[in-house]
Amino acid sequence: MSSFFGVDEFLFEHFDEGLHGYKKSYKFLGQNTFQLLFDAPSSMGIHLILTGSMLKMLRSDYGKGDIQLLKFLSSISKEFHFSRVDVAKDDTSGSVSIKKIARYIKDGNLTTRFRGGHQIKKFKLVGVDDEEDKLQYVPDGETWYLGSRSGTQFRFYDKKAQMNADNLFHWTRCELQLVDDAATNFVKNVINLDKHEFEKFCYSVFLTYVDFKKTSGAKYMKNRDSAKFWADFLDSTVHKVKLGSRKKKKSLDDINPEYLWQKLLDGDADFYYESMHQREKDEFDKWFFEQISSVLYLRALKHEEGIEEFYKKLIHWGETRVDQKKVEAVGVQLLMSERLKKIKEKEPSYS
């Protein structure tokens, strides 16, 4: 990494702590903007985290382009995997506004791979001149999301409000978050492109996931032309592309639940969970809920720290990795059930 950056090795500080199951890390100038995680089970390899601010510094201070970086990272291992890649494009002309995006989504004038999303409106409470105890509501930006936070997702937000950029009249950011196979396939497609081709490919990917359509025209939305503001923003000459590889869906039998369950009990679950693909996480969550059932106590009996500790661990892990309310509700039911009381009667006493 130091040779690629063109900097001295001592700028990468070593830490005896890591994330996601990795025990050690290197950080550039001690900052979390660059984290190289290592020292974990061999199947996990190494894990590199680069934030947007780090990428910006690589471009401006070290003259490294996005394609250069992706090509270098891909060359480290033939079995490289990108768990997440964010692709963003800004509009400062005013043609792509949050208000317009919201209207097109609400009216259904778009085609998209996503089937849901959510909206967040931020605000500030600021003091009023000459009225010491009075606060005033001030809008502070709005964000529209398509897709889920843990998967591939499109975000549209008011970058001007986020950055307090009063010197700009308008600044909207459109940002696509690609994960797992889509992220890896994106990288495989762009590492051999020049800058112009790279930009056009990014626009094609945007169009693939979200295409705002003209409000009138063909009966079926998919047959309508792209709305002018969207076509101009993305370059009207680009076409949709295919990123995700359609693999056979996993069944619960494919996951080896016993192995995953043991990972949960031996304290390595958080780390193992993070190393899984999104589909594997979804399958494990489904299996996890099935295990919180009438037969769960059989596993509780095997837990060396006792039944109550087993349930505490179960509930804690559920709160941090799956639906908190569901796990809490089921956990409380289990702890208060007659079945648990009977189990406790069978549990050997150590007093």
Read off the pLDDT band of 170 (50, 70, 90): very high
List pLDDT tens digits, range 107-144.
999 999 898 899 998 888 887 777 767 777 777 788 99
Query: What pLDDT sits at residue 253?
Result: 43
Structure tokens at 180: 């797992």
Which of 20-29, 182-191, 251-260 is the most confident on average? 182-191
Read off the pLDDT band of 295 (50, 70, 90): very low
Query: What pLDDT sits at residue 313?
Result: 66
**pLDDT score of 185 more than 60:** yes
More confident residue, 261 or 294: 261
Arithmetic mean of pLDDT, 27-46? 85
Q: Whose CA is closest to 12, among 348, 24, 249, 350? A: 24
Q: Is 59 within 8 Å of 39 (Cβ atoms)?
A: no
Q: Whose CA is closest to 313, among 292, 342, 338, 336? A: 292
Helix (H, G, I), strand (E, B) or coil at 45: coil
**pLDDT score of 91 more than 90:** yes
Buried b (16+ CB within 10 A) or exposed e, 202-219: bbbbbbbbbbbbeeeeee
Q: Whose CA is closest to 39, among 55, 51, 27, 21? A: 21
Arithmetic mean of pLDDT, 306-324? 56
Burial classification of residue 154, based on how many CB atoms lie within 10 Å of its CB (0-12 exposed, 13-18 middle, 19 or more buried): buried
**pLDDT score of 290 more than 50:** yes
**pLDDT score of 41 more than 80:** no
Arithmetic mean of pLDDT, 290-307? 52
Helix (H, G, I), strand (E, B) or coil at 233: helix
136-140 contacts at long range (C-beta below 8 A, 24 or more positions apart):
none
Query: What pLDDT sits at residue 336?
Result: 46
* Percentage, residues of the chain above pLDDT 90: 34
* Percentage, residues of the chain above pLDDT 70: 69
Q: Is 182 within 8 Å of 205 (Cβ atoms)?
A: no
List pLDDT tens digits, range 230-261.
999 998 888 988 886 444 444 434 445 455 44
Query: What pLDDT sits at residue 98?
Result: 95
Q: Is 153 within 8 Å of 161 (Cβ atoms)?
A: no
Q: Residue type at 146?
A: L
Q: Tokens 């804690």, residue?
A: 316
Structure tokens at 258: 């016993």
For 45: left if phi > 0, alpha if psi spans -120 to 50, otherwise beta; the answer is left
Query: What pLDDT sits at residue 268?
Result: 44
Helix (H, G, I), strand (E, B) or coil at 217: coil
Query: What pLDDT sits at residue 209?
Result: 94
